[in-house]
């Protein structure tokens, strides 16, 4: 079941992860192609709550047109 949130993905073990692709211009600076953090939950609502905490931090550092 896909989520409406582009930053939440579910692994093959049904665990949610916070995932964002680092835009090409920032990859050399960050040193990663993507940032992925395990949310340690199988519950979508709990994952969305974690996402609500992380999203402002990510969006603060990425221009709005590149973070989508």
Domain ranges of the chain: 8-61
Quick one: 21 exposed, middle or buried, by C-beta within 10 A (0-12, 13-18, 19+)? middle
Model-wide pTM > 0.75: no
68 residues of the chain, pLDDT tens digit each: 555 677 889 989 999 988 888 888 888 888 889 888 888 899 989 888 887 777 777 777 666 545 44
Measured distance CA(41)–CA(21) in Å, rounded: 21
């Amino acid at each position: 079941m896909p989520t409406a949130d582009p930053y939440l993905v579910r692994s093959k073990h049904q665990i949610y992860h916070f995932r964002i692709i680092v835009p090409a211009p920032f990859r050399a600076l960050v040193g990663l192609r993507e940032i992925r953090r395990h949310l340690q939950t199988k519950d979508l609502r709990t994952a969305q709550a974690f996402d609500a905490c992380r999203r402002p931090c990510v969006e603060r550092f990425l221009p709005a047109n590149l973070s989508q």
